[in-house]
């Protein structure tokens, strides 16, 4: 398997209207993003936002345009912002999650294999959900009271996705249900400042994507900072 890094491109989500409740969703593979260009992902912080403080979010996908899958990948923040007044934290992003709207994988029901392992049939592409996202039982817990963090995502020998969650939903093992995904504002964000602590993706299939959510927090009354940067690295083992 050969992976050409020039065929690993970064793309925006289908709904790229910042601040929209349904911002996010699936990858828009034609909306390529250019690294190291002003306002290529986050908009500039306005003077008013600098004074009041700001929290906002962006979703980004890595799109594998190679003809082979890219396997065993870690994504992490290799250089957080040089400004002392803001910080970006990240978590994984599946293809369904949206900024401020709960959603579900309605293609096919998921199954509890155990208290903390959920199987999503192979008809749903891998990376439908990602570590750090929060999921819930769409059928039996519509208020999302028992939402759980996704700890890891893997595949079994039949290309089904196995999602390990932090604790049980309380549903019986073997039951089927539609898997819900909470709004991105409820996810677990962390700095993931090294490869060792990076977000792990088992596979990005040929023509497939894996994503991250980025949460930017600008302190109120912060100093100005021009050419503020955030560098994320994606690397296979």
Partner 1 sequence: MVTTDFTSLYDIRKAGSEFVTAYNIRLLETFESVYNVKPTHVEFVSKYSIHLCTEFITRYTHQVAVDFRAVYSILIPKDFVTIYNLMAKKEFETRIDHAGRVYKEFKTRVKSITGVKILFEEI
Site for partner 1, rule CB under 8 A: 3, 5, 8, 10, 33, 35-47, 50, 58, 60, 62, 70, 78, 82-86, 88, 214, 218, 222-237
In order, the DSSP letters of 185-218 are GGS--B---SSTTSEEEEEE-TT-EEEEEEEEEE
> In this complex, which beta carbon is closest to partner 1, that of residue 85 or of residue 149?
85
H/E segment holding residue 149: strand 148-155
Smallest distance from the beta carbon of 235 to partner 1, in angstroms? Answer: 4
21/235 with CB nearer partner 1: 235
Nearest to partner 1 of 67, 233 (CB atom): 233
Both tokens assigned to 114: 């155990």
**Residue 33 C-beta: closest distance to partner 1, Å:** 7
Determine contact, residues 81/230, Cβ cutoff 8 Å.
Answer: yes
Chain centroid to Cα 12, Å, comes to 12
C-beta closer to partner 1: residue 147 or 214: 214
- Shortest spacing between CB 128 and partner 1, in angstroms: 22
Shortest distance (Å) from residue 80 CB to partner 1 = 11
* CA–CA dist 62, 95 (Å, integer): 11
Assess contact for 128 and 27: CB atoms under 8 A.
Answer: no
Smallest gap from residue 3 Cβ to partner 1 (A): 5
- Of 176 and 235, the one with the shorter C-beta distance to partner 1 is 235
Considering the complex, state which of residue 33 and residue 113 has its C-beta at the smaller distance from partner 1: 33
Cα diameter, the chain: 54
Cα–Cα distance measured from residue 162 to residue 160, given in angstroms and rounded to the nearest whole number: 6
CB 111 within 8 Å of CB 176: yes
């Amino acid at each position: 398997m050969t992976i050409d890094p020039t065929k690993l491109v970064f793309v925006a989500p289908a709904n790229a209207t910042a601040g929209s409740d349904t911002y996010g969703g699936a990858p828009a593979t034609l909306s390529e993003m250019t690294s190291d260009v002003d306002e290529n992902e986050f908009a500039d912080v306005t003077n008013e936002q600098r004074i009041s403080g700001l929290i906002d979010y962006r979703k980004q996908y890595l799109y594998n345009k190679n003809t082979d899958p890219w396997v065993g990948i870690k994504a992490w923040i290799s250089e957080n912002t040089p400004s002392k007044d803001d910080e970006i934290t990240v978590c994984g992003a599946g293809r369904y999650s949206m900024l401020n709207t709960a959603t579900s994988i309605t293609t096919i029901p998921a199954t509890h294999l155990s208290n903390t392992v959920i199987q999503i049939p192979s008809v749903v592409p891998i990376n439908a959900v990602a570590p750090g996202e929060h999921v819930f039982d769409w059928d039996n817990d519509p208020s999302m009271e028992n939402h759980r963090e996704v700890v890891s995502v893997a595949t079994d020998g039949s290309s089904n996705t196995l999602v390990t969650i932090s604790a049980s939903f309380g549903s019986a093992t073997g039951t089927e249900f539609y898997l819900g995904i909470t709004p991105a504002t409820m996810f677990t964000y962390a700095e993931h400042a090294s490869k060792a602590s990076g977000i792990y993706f088992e596979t990005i299939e040929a023509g497939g994507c894996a994503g991250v959510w980025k949460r930017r927090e600008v302190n109120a009354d912060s100093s100005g900072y021009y050419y503020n940067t955030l560098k994320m690295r994606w690397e296979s083992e």
